[in-house]
Amino acid sequence: MEVAVENMPWGVMVILLPLAGALVCFLWPRRSVPLGLLGALGVVACVTGLCWQVVEQGAQRYTVGGWGAPLGIDLYADGLSLLMLMMTAVVGLGISIYSSGYFEHKTAVVFWPLWLFLWTALNALLLSADIFNLYVTLELLGLSAVALVALAGGADALTAAMRYLLVGLLGSLCYLLGVALLYHSFGSVDIAILAERMELSPAVWAAVGLMSAGLLLKTALFPLHFWLPPAHASAPVPVSALLSALVVMASFYILLRLWLEVFPPGAAAAGQLLGLLGATAVLWGGIQALRQTRLKLLIAYSTVAQMGYLFLAFPLGTSFAWKGALYLLLSHAMAKAAMFMAAGNILRFGGHDRIADLDRVAQRLPLTLAAFSLAGISIMGLPPSGGFIGKWMLLDAAFYRGQWWWALILIMGGLLTAAYVFKVVGYAFTQAEVTHEASRVPAGMEWTALVLALAAVLLGLFAPWPLALLDIGFPFSGGCAE
Amino acid sequence: MNWDSGLLLLILATSLVPGLVIFFLPEERVAIRTTLNMGGAVVKLVLVGVLIWGVLHGHQYETRLPLLPGGLDLVLHADAESVLFVTLSAVLWLVTTIYAIGYLEGSQHRSRFFGFFSLCVTATVGVALAGNMITFLVFYELLTLSTYPLIVHRGTEEARQAGRVYLRYTIAGGALLLVGTVWLYDVAGSFEFTHRGVVAGLDDADRTVLTAIFVLLIAGLGVKAALVPLHGWLPRAMVAPAPVSALLHAVAVVKAGAFGIVRVVDDVYGVEFAASLGVTGPLAVLAATTIVYGSLRALFQDNLKRRLAYSTVSQVSYIVLGVAVVGPIATVGGLVHLVHQGLMKITLFFCAGNLAETLGVHNISDMNGIGRRMPWTMAAFTIAALGMIGVPPLAGFVSKWYLGLGALDAGQDWVVFILAGSSLLNAGYFLPVLYATWFKAPPDAWPAERSYGRRETAWALLAPPLVTALLVVAAGLLASAPFSPLQWARFITTQEYAP
């Protein structure tokens, strides 16, 4: 039995299982909720298996259908992929449970196949070992995300979805052009082979520029963030959660892979530029979030700011900084999902998400407010949360490199975050002038938000283990800024 | 894990676990909630007793949890200074819990209140037991977070505004502290609290950088310690319910700041190294300024709680002053004031709460003849106020005596004038209150009187200030008895200044 578990191709199953789930949900719409939940649990089990395999045996490479690179499709799972897969699994399970109580039947039958398909694309993206596969999965991910945004119906949602679609297509197109240029130069799309053959030429620089620009657009780095707040805020709540927590990080993941493994070293200036854009995003996103009067928009702008933090690792470029950024990403995913879920509960409870009229949510929905606050603690980077660990590592790297101005940005970003989180929490204690009638929020929806938020906070106390995972099969010592 | 390393975790758990359970208790389960609160407080006190015994007998208490690879650990550690602060918190928590149960009887959202109240005490105990800067920082921020819901507890617009101001100060202070801590870690490679200080052992570090880090750390801690000009939040936080104010002013927030300053000067930089760096002089001047400024502002407040708040601003800086004067005797004075100020201030706030709760009296101008209506409460108030002024043989006198002696011993004679001036000002803002209380004629009716039968007020409201007032007397009268705060402060100082 043990041998069988060891040799199972868990990496392939991580992709096939949600795909099967999506198909089954599509074919039996009446049973889509239990089937979808079952699929989500299955994915979590497969990711656990993969985790066990990678920890025991080191990084895994699967050749799908028996054809190896450069002809066939390779899947590759190292510590980085694994950590992202695990995060996706945890957040995905949370979103699945939340959605089972959120959607009415009419929407649910559309949601479940799309969501499981999106999960498939995301898992495949995280396991892809070549840049063309990355393109295909990125495109699939983007298209299913657009469909999910449109699920809300209404003019706002459709406009946002349309804009999201166009931006996504433009981003992928840029990326695809870069892939073509690289393939033309080196005759391969496999990441490992490209890394070996990499040498500088104008075509390579053009490819680097195009691919980065496309991915930055998809990651919503300032000033390419304009599409994110309307799309994330107008979608149904579980969709907002998965967009902010999971989908934006996919393009960041690709960028990180390319930057660390494929792109030629010596792009120090580019690293500084990315850092500068990231810093602007942190401040701009924070200020915009503070100015919002609607809760969902506030959270969406917070995502813009949080994405900015990740780019502060590029100018620093030490292994500590990369890990810090990834840890921020990890805790942000859980915290942001929890935050959107809390907002969804408040929305369902009072029928609106105007911040100034929260009307004693602290008393009337204590679990939800606790979830929002705990998630906020992680996002503003207060100890002992996961966000604090990530920030600490970035701060440490900034002082280590003597680039203290990034530390200043980290601190100012934290202060802005505290300002907008506590703005919400403060209004949750006071009574609004007009009292609204309240509708019931299912306990499952409250608890899911709380558990995810708690996970984001507890990540701070168990940092050594995930960080050690990142060391499996991935050269973090590299990076262009060294 | 043996008994010794588990003890510190147990001490934290005695308030953390009841706090977490209380959050989920329905509002009307008063008996269970009270049992949990009181049980936790009593067990904590017993465990702290064991800890004192152990520290005296040379046991080493330390618990580590790796936070990041590369030697960054969360450390709980009990040395003589921790014991001083932990004992103060444990004793005053018990007393304040009794008071809070009486004060909040019949009001709303008590489960939430007591949950955060327990978290607040957990954070304070964590601050006391922290064995390095990052652990300190973790609990220091937890303290910010757990006190915020207590300040906005009443849910009024005024409370929300006060909470906002409080957070603006404390979160910014926390950020400064964080930067200082990271920078220190980068420069020194370690920030464990040791008797001589890790920074003192660095040979090749840039002294300008060390000074800059010192300034960042003190600024971050100074917010909670309410050093001028970082004190603005404290008078506004008065909207909180009285037990919260009592806890904030006597044990939790301001003391965490002052204790942190003691830690940084004594155990991170080392007193003598800090003095050679030239940073203790300015710190002493800052503390002296705060002492005078706080007292001057207190003179002009008519609201009793605001007057007490400004008095806190002034009094907490005695602790900082004692440390910054650099000398064994002054350090004793500063450390002992950590305890003495706590005892006196908590008594004063309990009494102020009693006046508000029983008679609806909030302002000093309404306090004429109130001593006849509430003689026991006002007797406790009088003892604590006289202690604050520094009348022998009360606790405040002992602090001031040692501070003055220490300053002379260290050759900083100007401090004596500050102490004398401050005592005059203290007398200036407390004596008129006492005079009006005892000698003026009472009004025909009190603003909002509640009847408690033949007693002047509920026993749960009356017993706590009486106990703490007795402690104020005892700490002064029995200052040279073993286990008095003074003796313990001396015990600490012999370690800091050991040859």
**What letter would DSSP give residue A460?**
G
Residue B116 has pLDDT above 60, yes or no: yes
Q: At A267, is the pLDDT very low, low, confident or very high (cuts 50, 70, 90)?
A: low
Instruction: Kindly determine whether residue B141 and residue A360, on different chains, have CB atoms separated by under 8 Å.
Output: no
Residue A315 has pLDDT above 70, yes or no: yes
Q: At A238, is the pLDDT very low, low, confident or very high (cuts 50, 70, 90)?
A: very high
Q: At B465, is the pLDDT very low, low, confident or very high (cuts 50, 70, 90)?
A: very high
Task: For chain A, say whether B397 makes contact (Cβ under 8 Å).
Answer: no
Measured CA to CA in angstroms, residue B269 lies from A416, B175, B228, B273 at distances of: 32, 20, 23, 6
Instruction: Kindly determine whether residue B68 and residue A463, on different chains, have CB atoms separated by under 8 Å.
Output: yes
Query: Which of chain B's residues have a Cβ under 8 Å away from the Cβ of A384?
Result: 67, 74, 138, 142
* Residues 31-70 (B) with a CB less than 8 A from some CB of A: 65-69
How far is the alpha carbon of B215 from chain A, nearest alpha carbon, in Å? Answer: 16
How far is the alpha carbon of A461 from chain B, nearest alpha carbon, in Å? Answer: 6
pLDDT of residue A480: 33
- A199 or A26: which leads in pLDDT: A26
Interface predicted TM-score (ipTM): 0.89
Query: Which of chain A's residues have a Cβ under 8 Å away from the Cβ of B142?
Result: 383-384
Task: For chain A, say whether B156 makes contact (Cβ under 8 Å).
Answer: yes
| Of residues B69, B141, B183, nearest to A467 (C-beta) | B69
| Of residues A396, A429, A464, nearest to B182 (C-beta) | A396
| Of residues A382, A411, A426, nearest to B163 (C-beta) | A426
The strand pairing partners of B61, in sequence order, are B78
Task: For chain A, say whether B174 makes contact (Cβ under 8 Å).
Answer: yes
Instruction: Kindly determine whether residue A399 and residue B174, on different chains, have CB atoms separated by under 8 Å.
Output: no
- Cα distance between residue B442 and residue B444, in whole Å: 7
Mutate to test the interface with A, among B134, B147, B182, B213 (most CBs of A within 10 A): B182
* Residues 87-146 (B) with a CB less than 8 A from some CB of A: 108-109, 112, 134, 137-138, 141-142, 144-145
Residues of chain A whose beta carbon is less than 8 angstroms from a beta carbon of chain B are 360, 362-363, 366, 377, 382-384, 389, 392-393, 395-396, 399-400, 407, 411, 414-415, 418, 422, 425-427, 429-431, 460-461, 463-464, 467-468
Residue A67 has pLDDT above 70, yes or no: no
pLDDT of residue A298: 94
Helical packing angle, A202-219 and A268-291, nearest 10°: 20
Mutate to test the interface with A, among B186, B191, B210 (most CBs of A within 10 A): B186
- Cα distance between residue A467 and residue A474, in whole Å: 12
Mean pLDDT calculated for residue range B245-261 = 88
Instruction: Kindly determine whether residue B182 and residue A395, on different chains, have CB atoms separated by under 8 Å.
Output: yes
Residue B498 has pLDDT above 70, yes or no: no
pTM of the model: 0.92
Nearest CA to A22 among A51, A1, A42, A2?
A: A42
Instruction: Kindly determine whether residue B66 and residue A377, on different chains, have CB atoms separated by under 8 Å.
Output: no
DSSP letters, A241-295, are HHIIIIIHHHHHHHHHHIIIIISPS--HHHHHHHHHHHHHHHHHHHHHHHH-SBH
How far is the alpha carbon of A420 from chain B, nearest alpha carbon, in Å? Answer: 11
pLDDT digits 0-9 by tens, B334-365: 999 999 999 999 999 999 999 988 888 889 98
Buried (b) or exposed (e) across B44-54, using 16+ Cβ within 10 A?
bbebbeebbeb
pLDDT of residue A479: 37
Mean pLDDT calculated for residue range B473-481 = 88
pLDDT digits 0-9 by tens, B67-87: 887 778 899 988 888 899 999
**Ranges A63-77, A140-154, A350-364: which has the least confidence:** A63-77
Q: Provide the number of CB pairs (under 8 Å) joining chain A to chain B.
A: 87
B72: left (phi over 0), alpha (psi -120 to 50) or beta: beta
Task: For chain A, say whether B432 makes contact (Cβ under 8 Å).
Answer: no
Q: At B292, is the pLDDT very low, low, confident or very high (cuts 50, 70, 90)?
A: very high
pLDDT of residue B25: 87
Q: At A477, is the pLDDT very low, low, confident or very high (cuts 50, 70, 90)?
A: very low
How far is the alpha carbon of A384 from chain B, nearest alpha carbon, in Å? Answer: 6
The answer to whether A232 and A447 have CB atoms below 8 angstroms apart is no
Task: Find the angle CA(B4)-CA(B10)-CA(B11) to the nearest 5 degrees.
Answer: 100
Element (H, E) at B63: strand B61-68
In the numeric block, which tokens belong to residue A264?
Answer: 């030629």
pLDDT of residue A117: 95
The answer to whether B157 and B266 have CB atoms below 8 angstroms apart is no
How far is the alpha carbon of B267 from chain A, nearest alpha carbon, in Å? Answer: 22
Task: For chain A, say whether B178 makes contact (Cβ under 8 Å).
Answer: yes
- Cα distance between residue B65 and residue B74, in whole Å: 5
The answer to whether A367 and A382 have CB atoms below 8 angstroms apart is no
Q: Structural domain boundaries of chain B?
A: 297-499
